[in-house]
Amino acid sequence: MLMIFLLGALKWLGLIMVFVMPVASLLTWAERRQSAMMQDRLGPNRANIGSVRIWGILHFVADAVKMLFKEDFVPAKAHKTLFRLAPVLAFAPVLIAFAIIPFGPTIHVDHLFKVLDPYSAPSGGERLQIFTAEFGMLFYFAIASIANYGTTLAGWASYNKWALLGGLRASSQMMAYEVTMGLAVLGMFLVTGTLEPGAMVDWQGPNPLHWGITVQPLAFLLFFTAAIAETKRAPFDIPEGEPEVIGYFLEYSGLGFGTFFLAEFVEIVFVGALMTTVFFGGYHIPGLYQNGFYFGDWFFELPHVVVAVLQVHAFIFKVIFFCWFQLLIRWTLPRFRPDQLIHLGWKKILPMSLANVMITAAVLLWLGL
Amino acid sequence: MGERRTFVFGQKTAEELEAEAGLPTEPMRVNMGPSHPAMHGTVRMVLTLDGERIRESDIELGFIHRCFEKEAEYATYTQIFPYTDRLNYVSPMLNNVGFALAVERLLGIDKEIPERAQYIRVIVGEMARIADHLTCLGASAMELGAFTPFLWFLKAREWLYTLLEEVSGARLTHSYVRVGGVVADLPTDFSEKLGARLIDIARVLNEGEGLIKDLRIFRDRMEGVGVLSAADAIAYGWSGPCLRSTGVDYDVRKDHPYLVYDRLEFDVPVGTRGDNYDRFLVRMYEMRQSLRILRQALDQIPPGPILVPDYAVTLPPKAEVYNSIEGMIAHFKLIMDGIRVPPGEVYSTTEAANGELGFYIVADGTGRPYKCHVRAPSFAILTSLTKQIDGALLSDLIPTFGMVNYIAGETER
Amino acid sequence: MSQRILDRMKERFPDAVGDTHAQHGNETAFVARERIVEVLAFLRDDPELEMNYPSDLTCVDLLGLGDGLGELQREQQGAPQDDKPRFEVVYHLYSVTKKHRVRIKCRVPEDDPTIASVAHLYPSWNWFEREVWDMYGIRFVGHPDLRRIFLYEQFVGHPLRKDYPKEKRQPLIRREGMV
């Protein structure tokens, strides 16, 4: 039991350290570079270590060093404990939630260089998913709502009216959009019959016509919208709308601010991973089955290890694509007004997601599935 | 904003339910500014908030008061030009022109300014106007979260500033206009360079407009927000694009043409509803009209002198200063005493980027004005801000304040 | 062109409107201080004039104007006192519909620097009057909110008066009532 637990913890740490944190850190640089390209300017391109200057990618190192060495200021009248706790509460849930994401196929160590049987997989194997549970998506929603406390507490504990306004905005927004997210996933649940992300990926398979985006297009749109709202980025960045209320992390400096900042980017990666898993076939590549490529009659056999490597890369590619897409949206759209945002959440998106669930259920009933 | 009542299921309002539940609420006073990202320059607003809704607001100015009027009383007329640069620091050329015209009217030489100088003044003024509008619209878009058009517009503004730098030697504080003309002629290839840039700017305007003009989110933020009726706008002394957004077609360039504006063909765009979106559109169309004016002015500009050849007003050429006693004395008198302006008073208006820019100058016969008052357009426009934002949401304050185009330099002087 | 305005004003208020003149294209009328609200209300509401646009409001300190002294000498010698009213409050009115402009002047003596407020006629001048109060110390009677606008409440004196030395400095006092 302890071994399983330790192995899980190790896998989680590996995923976070090898994939999530690097991508999130690079996103801080990529966001600035991408926006710079959209806006006809250069962006950060000078950070270097000695002569190593790969288009300024090292900028995130400079950022981290800056954050570390800045004074970590706590306002005199702030609630010290909650003030310190808030960044952790905002950051930790997202990292934990990564446990449910299947980022690759099941690895069969004994069959690495063999071609697998297309119809039956060998028993056992190591699943590239840390936490496999029937209630996977519910686990995510439970964990994600903790992040809500982080932002609200940050606003309240700062003893600053603007931060408080930001925190209130954050909590009302996240509540409004969490419901929609849940209902949008419910559509996929009805179709796939499972809430376990790994099983959802298996159900979708390598055929794009079977993917969530094809079977539940409306749910995809709603889920994506709500997910961006959950990350609190433009056009939904009203909790931190700089020219208005400045944000719930107004009083944070140094590492506290850095944590909020990084949490935002980790959330981008997570939303990307979630979109990939639920609606874009997870790690699957169109036409790539566990024994090789099938395109109609054309067939190309591949050993298990090649398939697995390709699929992990496909997952990474899809996640990065969604990260890029979110940055694109962020630098294109202006910000909502709080009441418009809540209006959109409760009066438009929520009824649409409800309707989506009902129609999906009716269609399934009619088809007799 | 009309009266808003929140109805909960049943017959009770949220306020009544709150009262029953015994949850006492009190309005929150927040201090917006003087250092706040949306307060361009520095202005302080004390807002009384009920949730996110502004119940009361009080606007406090004076953080950048630089004693322009007091300083002007102790400076010669020529020395005031650098001060006028710093009035509306986004479009200094228009202030230069406005002040020069006022002094020329006092001197009675306003009809004698060489044609070339008049055209040059129109050209640099319209360039400044485009720069000002680009900044206003870009900054407002940025405050609404649309960062990309802001940087596109700033890129276009930088082209204009670069050209103005070639003309005057300074990127921002030009001090280029003089009483009696302009200080130097345009560079030799200016016409071609500006002509090419006009095409680029038109392209940037189309791109920026295409990105946000019909964007649902942007329109929702701008439309129906900060509305002021035409009658109110007049009573509050609005002018320029803000007044025209309410449907009043008052433009000093058209109604009381100065310089050579009567020879140039341009339209005055007016809005219909007087909301922020109309202000945005009016500024957008005005920039196109300015491009049109610039094209015509570049075609029409004649060769010739750029200064009045009256050495009581303008400096004699250096050759004369060094070689003739008359030139030397004229130069000395102008530098030491300033331009002797006969006693009198004048209120001269020009159309600056924000509206009617008035200079009220009282001369007492010396080389320094007895009184030099600036009627700053954005000062008058700001007087109505309290009326516009009371009862609106905190977020509505941002586009409304942005579209006022508050320039601390001219408002607080 | 705008001579018509002056004529009409004189016709309507023969006792309130004093000297009139036109200079550099600006028509000016001197109006008795006590009648200013009445005259401005008439100018605003008269259908023939419709001076509905409040262009500018300022004040001129006439201390030593026209005594032939330069600024420096005035500063050194101090200004001669005479019985001429010291301040002139200057109103610039414009008509957006009729496109004409007029300047109204009111003489205000030094020992009683008050004048009736017209902020209720032209809301824009609420702030302009505050500015004149701030800079010249003219008290506008009936103004809804006559506070200093650019300077702070504890500031002593009115800096645009001619007897306020340009070089004078005052300590910046921390304001009360910061939220």
ipTM of the complex: 0.84
Nearest CA of chain B to the CA of A106: how many Å?
Answer: 43
Cβ within 8 Å, pair A39-B151: yes
Nearest CA of chain A to the CA of B408: how many Å?
Answer: 17
Across the interface, of C24, C60, C124, the residue whose CB is closest to B371 is C60
What span, in angstroms and rounded, lies between the C-alpha atoms of B6 and B391?
Answer: 14
* CATH 3.30.460.80 describes domain C3-141: yes
Minimal-distance CA residue of chain B relative to C164: B70
Identify the CA nearest to B77 among candidates B175, B185, B218. Answer: B175
Q: Is B288 on the interface with A (CB under 8 A)?
A: no
Calculated CA dihedral for residues A223, A224, A225, A226, nearest 10 degrees: 50
Minimal-distance CA residue of chain B relative to A39: B148
pLDDT of B130:
92
What span, in angstroms and rounded, lies between the C-alpha atoms of A320 and A324?
Answer: 6
Minimal-distance CA residue of chain A relative to B149: A39
- In this predicted structure, the answer to whether residue C66 has a pLDDT above a threshold of 70 is no
Cβ neighbour number for residue B364 with a 10 Å cutoff: 21
Cβ within 8 Å, pair C122-B371: no
To test the contact with chain A by mutation, choose from B1, B49, B152, B395 the residue with the greatest count of A C-beta atoms within 10 A, namely: B395
DSSP bridge partners of A329: none
Which amino acid type is present at position A346? Answer: W
Which residues of A fall within a CB distance of 8 Å from B33? none
- Within-domain flag for A16: no
Total number of domains constituting chain A:
1
Q: What is the mean pLDDT of residues C112-127?
A: 88
Q: Is A269 on the interface with B (CB under 8 A)?
A: no
**By residue range, what is the domain housing residue A132?**
72-367
Ordered domains of chain B (ranges, CATH): 14-60 (no CATH), 68-412 (1.10.645.10)
pLDDT of B62:
82
Which residues of B fall within a CB distance of 8 Å from C87? none
pLDDT of C71:
47
- In this predicted structure, the answer to whether residue A85 has a pLDDT above a threshold of 60 is yes
- In this predicted structure, the answer to whether residue C67 has a pLDDT above a threshold of 60 is no
Per-residue pLDDT of chain B (413 residues; tens, 9 = 90+): 445 555 555 566 666 666 677 667 778 888 887 878 777 778 888 888 887 888 888 888 888 888 888 888 888 888 898 988 888 888 889 999 999 999 998 888 888 888 899 999 999 999 999 999 999 888 888 888 888 888 899 999 999 999 999 988 888 888 888 888 888 888 888 888 898 999 999 999 998 888 888 888 888 888 888 888 888 888 888 888 999 889 888 888 888 888 888 888 888 898 888 888 999 999 999 999 999 999 999 988 888 888 888 888 888 888 888 888 888 888 888 888 888 888 888 888 998 888 889 899 988 888 888 888 999 888 888 888 888 888 888 888 888 888 888 888 888 88
- In this predicted structure, the answer to whether residue C79 has a pLDDT above a threshold of 50 is no
Which residues of A fall within a CB distance of 8 Å from B142? 243
Cβ within 8 Å, pair C26-B346: yes
pLDDT tens-digit readout, A114-135: 777 766 677 777 777 777 778 8
Question: In chain C, how long is the greatest CA-to-CA distance?
Answer: 53
DSSP bridge partners of B350: B357
Minimal-distance CA residue of chain B relative to A239: B395
Across the interface, of B73, B360, B383, the residue whose CB is closest to C56 is B360
Question: Is B351 strand, coil or helix?
Answer: strand
Cβ within 8 Å, pair C66-B364: yes
Across the interface, of B36, B52, B144, the residue whose CB is closest to A334 is B144
To test the contact with chain A by mutation, choose from B1, B204, B214, B217 the residue with the greatest count of A C-beta atoms within 10 A, namely: B217
The DSSP 8-state label assigned to residue C79 in this structure reads P
Sheet harboring B369-375: ordered strands across? Answer: B344-352, B355-363, B369-375
Cβ within 8 Å, pair B148-A338: no
Average pLDDT value over all residues in chain A: 84
Q: Is B14 on the interface with A (CB under 8 A)?
A: no
Identify the CA nearest to B254 among candidates B372, B351, B338. Answer: B351
Q: What is the mean pLDDT of residues A14-37?
A: 83
pLDDT of B1:
44
Which residues of A fall within a CB distance of 8 Å from B49? 165
- Within-domain flag for A24: no
What are the residue ranges spanned by the domains of chain C?
3-141
Write down which chains contact chain C via at least 3 CB pairs under 8 A: B
Count of pairs with CB atoms under 8 A, one residue in A, one in B:
79
Count of pairs with CB atoms under 8 A, one residue in B, one in C:
109
* Both tokens assigned to A229: 């709202």
- Within-domain flag for A85: yes
Across the interface, of B234, B349, B373, the residue whose CB is closest to C52 is B234
Write down which chains contact chain A via at least 3 CB pairs under 8 A: B
Question: Is A125 strand, coil or helix?
Answer: coil
- Within-domain flag for A22: no
Cβ within 8 Å, pair A340-B220: yes
Cβ within 8 Å, pair B255-C99: yes
Instruction: Give the HSE-up count for residue B111: Cα atoms under 13 Å, Cβ half-sphere.
Output: 2
To test the contact with chain C by mutation, choose from B43, B71, B364, B387 the residue with the greatest count of C C-beta atoms within 10 A, namely: B364
Enumerate residues 129 to 168 of chain C having a beta carbon within 8 A of any beta carbon in chain B.
Answer: 135, 148-152, 159-160, 166
Task: Return all residues near B351 (Cβ < 8 A) that are at least 6 apart.
Answer: B94, B240, B251, B252, B253, B357
pLDDT tens-digit readout, A143-165: 888 888 888 888 888 888 888 88
Identify the CA nearest to A134 among candidates A193, A220, A68. Answer: A193
pLDDT tens-digit readout, A265-320: 888 888 888 888 888 888 888 878 777 777 777 777 788 888 888 888 888 899 88
Alpha-carbon distances, residue B154 vs A257, B131, B158, B208, B353 (angstroms): 29, 8, 6, 11, 16
Q: What percentage of chain A carries pLDDT values higher than 70?
A: 98
Sheet harboring C26-31: ordered strands across? Answer: C17-23, C26-31, C101-108, C87-94, C53-61
Instruction: Give the HSE-up count for residue B299: Cα atoms under 13 Å, Cβ half-sphere.
Output: 8
What span, in angstroms and rounded, lies between the C-alpha atoms of A300 and B340?
Answer: 95
- Using a 10 angstrom Cβ sphere, with 0-12 exposed, 13-18 middle and 19 or more buried, the burial of residue C168 is exposed
Which residues of B fall within a CB distance of 8 Å from A338? 52, 393, 395
Contact B123, B294 (CB under 8 A): yes
Task: Return all residues near A218 (Cβ < 8 A) that are at least 6 apart.
Answer: A187, A352, A356
Q: Is C53 on the interface with B (CB under 8 A)?
A: yes
Minimal-distance CA residue of chain C relative to B256: C99
Across the interface, of C71, C99, C124, the residue whose CB is closest to B236 is C124
Which residues of A fall within a CB distance of 8 Å from B147? 35, 39, 331
Across the interface, of A35, A162, A334, the residue whose CB is closest to B217 is A334
3-state SS of B151-200 is: HHHHHHHHHHHHHHHHHHCCCCCCCCEECCEECCCCCCCHHHHHHHHHHH
Cβ within 8 Å, pair B371-C61: yes
Minimal-distance CA residue of chain C relative to B412: C150
Cβ within 8 Å, pair B358-C71: no
pLDDT of B9:
54
Write down which chains contact chain B via at least 3 CB pairs under 8 A: A, C
What span, in angstroms and rounded, lies between the C-alpha atoms of A154 and A148?
Answer: 10
Q: Is B277 on the interface with A (CB under 8 A)?
A: no
Which residues of B fall within a CB distance of 8 Å from A241? 145, 395
